[in-house]
Each structure stands twice: as structure tokens, then as C-alpha cells.
Amino acid sequence: MFNMWSDYLLPEIELFLIHLPGRDKRISEAPYELLSPLAEVLAGALNPHLNKPFVFFGHSMGALVSFEVARQLRRRHSPQPIHLFVSAHQPPHKPDLHPFLYQLPDNEFLKETEELYGALPDVVRQDSEVLKFYLSIMRADFTMVGTYQYIHESPLDCPISVFGGLQDKSVTQDNLKSWCEQTTSSFNLQMFAGNHFFFQGSRTILPQSIKKTLLST
């Protein structure tokens, strides 16, 4: 889905996608279950490419990953993003609203995650082996989020823009507002109709909003 963003962003914006272990071409690799080591690896891998202005975008767990990578770069005295865009995730300094999901048995885990984030595609549910594999990736993600420990540091210097779905059961609008505490610069919150994956109904919503923000900077 994110590959399509190149069609909606400015021509001079280069799109780089992060493929985590356990996904896409890295499907045979074991996924991360701890966020801190992942942020360190990503910061090191990205650093050689940060010789021009750049921004981060992360949706759901990716919001937390983007935030921690930005902080990891700051600790290394590396270049910082000129803007952080995050979507549909609890602010890092707020307690996780669903901290023990990753510890549930498979049936309960599937039921609870579908209640919060929406049903899995039929093509996944109808194949027991595919479902088992998919659940293992999901559990690793929820383990990463559920075991995350926020360490207090000074806010980031870059602006933060936050996106959320009005019907998202996983995070509230009031909680999304608290992302403002993580920046000394400007802050903006945009809410859209829809659930956790609110942008699936209109895939241009987020890239067009990001483009508009960048044009105004």
C-alpha cells in the first residue's frame, strides 16, 4: 500500500520503505520482539542515507518505532527528521491501553485484536497454516509494544503531526493529543472517519496531508 505513496507525494520527495524481519522479502527472518534493539539497528542502517532533509512516518506500531528511531539518532548526534508523522498509536509516555494482549492464548488473542483493530482478511482466516503464521507475526508486534518501556528524555525539536480514526477502538482522540508533549515545535492532530485503518477507504488521505504539511514548511 505504501508503495503507492510516490504517486501522491511531491516529485522531489523520495519514498523509502522499511521492511522489518518477518515481512515481505524478509518473511523467512525472525521478527523482533523488543523495540529498543530494532530502533538501534534502524538508526545505524539509516544513518548513511541521511545526507538530505528527511521525515519519518509510522502507523500503529510504526509510530512508536519512528519515534524511538528519531531519539536514537539524536543520541548518536546524527541528523534529525525535519518532521515526525505518526498515526493511530498511543503516545509513548502514556501507559499502554492493552499491555497484556501478547500473552493471551491464540483464540483469545485473535478475538481481542480483531475487536480492537478489525477482522483479518478471509484469505488468512480460511487457511490454518497462513493464520498460524500471521498470528506469530502479530504476536511479535504486540510483544514489542507491550514490553516497551518509555525512558524520559527531552522532547524532539521537530514538529509532530498525528493522524487518527474517529472510530478507532485502540486509542482515543484525547490520548492522541498527548503526542504534543513530545515536541518543542509545532503540533497538529487530524482525525478522520474510520477505524484503526481509516486510510484504507481513501488511500490518498495521508500522503496528501503530508504533502500539504511539507509544502507549508
Residue 135 in domain: no
* pLDDT score, position 202: 82
Q: What is the pLDDT of residues 100-150, one digit of tens each?
A: 999 999 999 999 999 999 888 888 888 999 999 889 999 999 999 999 999
Range of the domain at 50: 2-97+152-215
Residue 177 in domain: yes
Q: Which amino acid would we find at residue 4?
A: M
Q: Which of 6, 28, 36, 60 is catalytic?
A: 60
Please give the C-alpha separations between residue 118 and each of 112, 115, 177, in angstroms, as whole numbers.
10, 6, 23
What is the number of domains present in the chain? 1
pTM here is 0.95
Write the CATH number for 34: 3.40.50.1820
Residue 7: Cβ within 10 Å count = 10
Is 87 one of the catalytic residues? Answer: no
| Biggest distance spanned by C-alpha atoms of the chain | 49
Q: What is the pLDDT of residues 183-209, one digit of tens each?
A: 999 999 999 999 999 998 888 999 999
Residue 19 in domain: yes
Environment class of 142 (CB within 10 Å of its CB; exposed 0-12, middle 13-18, buried 19+): buried
